[in-house]
Amino acid sequence: MVVFLDTSAIFALADTNDENHQVAVARFKAALDAGDDFLTHNYVILESLALVQRRLGWEVTRWLLSEVSAFRVRWVDQELHQAALKSFAERRGRISLVDSVSFLVMREAGISHVLGFDDDFVREGFRPYLPEPSR
């Protein structure tokens, strides 16, 4: 399965004090153990790096930089950017531009599950990644 990786999960993985840290680590590890792949896009990487740098400092940012190569990254081209801007404008700011891109990327790739803690994904019809319990 391919799982979309959202900024909220990346930040929770990076911040040991985040309320979702333990859940993020457990789900991330379960996905890797199951052989699942992660897909994100470069706007999520940009947003995550900026957030981590601002809130957690350079050392954690450096760690994140070393980890992002493990993710498949969909690079946002002009066509995707324009489609996301249109969706963003139509929703009048009820979701972020980054989330607009995320929803389009997920639909384009046929991804239904997200590792993240942003309720906008569920409202948009996507499902949270909940690994199968170990037997």
Q: What pLDDT was estimated at residue 135?
A: 43
* pLDDT digit string, tens, across residues 23-65: 999 999 999 999 999 999 999 999 999 999 999 999 999 999 9
Neighbours of 35 (CB within 10 A): 7
Amino acid at 18: D
pLDDT above 90: percentage of residues in the chain: 94
For residue 114, count CB atoms less than 10 angstroms from its CB and return exposed for 0-12, middle for 13-18, buried for 19 or more: buried
Name the residue with tokens 């942003």.
118
Amino acid at 72: R
Name the residue with tokens 């792949």.
37
- Distance in angstroms (rounded) separating the CA atoms of residues 57 and 50: 10
- For the domain made up of 2-74+111-128, give the CATH fold: Rossmann fold (3.40.50)
Q: What pLDDT was estimated at residue 131?
A: 83
Domain-by-domain residue ranges, the chain? 2-74+111-128
